[in-house]
Amino acid sequence: MREKLKALAELQKVDMEAAALRKAADVHPRQIAELERELGAARSAIEAERARVADIERQKLQLEQNITDEKDKVKKWEARLAEQRSTREYSALAREIDIAKKANLTMADELVEITKTLGTAREAVKGKETEFSARQQSLAGRMTELRAKLAEAESQVKQLEGQRAGASAKVDATLLRRYETIRKKKLPALVGVGAGGQCHGCNMNVPPQLYNQLRTSLGTDVCPSCNRIIYAVEALAEPTSK
């Protein structure tokens, strides 16, 4: 009975180690996703700044085109001014020319301001691009590190799965089926019962008769409280040399 128990304990040792590795590795994909979201947010912020610069550039081009159009219009009107025969027509055209020139002066002032705004926006984009490049390198390095850790953990789990096949082959078939059923719900599935008859899985005391039976047989049974496979801890204790 003790050999069967030892075989099951060895199998659970492999399962516990694999479970611990999986649990530790579970955090890596979440961390990678968080870093990717952070990088995406920084990238979106830069794209927004670039879009703002592009919008200002369009406004500047449109303003420059409007100024050019108004200047051309003034030139045509000035050429027509000398052709006017009546005083009323001359005055009306002269007034339109004056309005157009004033509008051009206003647009010229606007062009100066928008050119300044565009220069500031372009400098801001350059600064953010420099920051983003440095942040991207930092985050990329961190993600590479996390992916390496995840790959290492997966490799270790795969190795343990290979060990598990060998360990499970040594376990009594009936005991193995019971263990596998419990393991799917909770680990550890195999727990000791210590002095006083306390189950190490649920911390409840098993009936004294059951505890005595476990100590006598050095075998296994089922905890009435948590349904785990139980054994007397001394069953796996190393014999002391005299």
Among residues 109, 141, 168, the one where a domain terminates is 168
Neighbours of 37 (CB within 10 A): 10
d(CA 37, CA 221): 50
Residue 24 lies in a domain: yes
Please name every residue paired with 82 in a beta bridge, in sequence order, or none if there are none. none
Residue 204's domain spans which residues? 173-235
Q: For residue 41, give the amino acid letter.
A: A
Question: Is it true that the peptide bond before 29 is cis, omega within 30 degrees of 0?
Answer: no
Q: What is the pLDDT of residues 140-185, one digit of tens each?
A: 889 898 999 889 999 999 999 999 999 999 999 999 999 999 999 9
Domain termination site, one of 168, 188, 209: 168
Q: Is the pTM of this model over 0.75?
A: no
Domain boundary pick from 168, 195, 224: 168
CA geometry: angle 211, 11, 194, nearest 5 deg:
20
* Neighbouring-strand partners of residue 190: 229
The continuous run of DSSP H or E covering 231 comes out as strand 229-232
Contact 19, 201 (CB under 8 A): no
Is a pLDDT exceeding 90 seen at residue 81?
A: no
- Binned at pLDDT 50, 70 and 90, residue 242 comes out as very low
* pLDDT at 239 exceeding the cut of 70: no
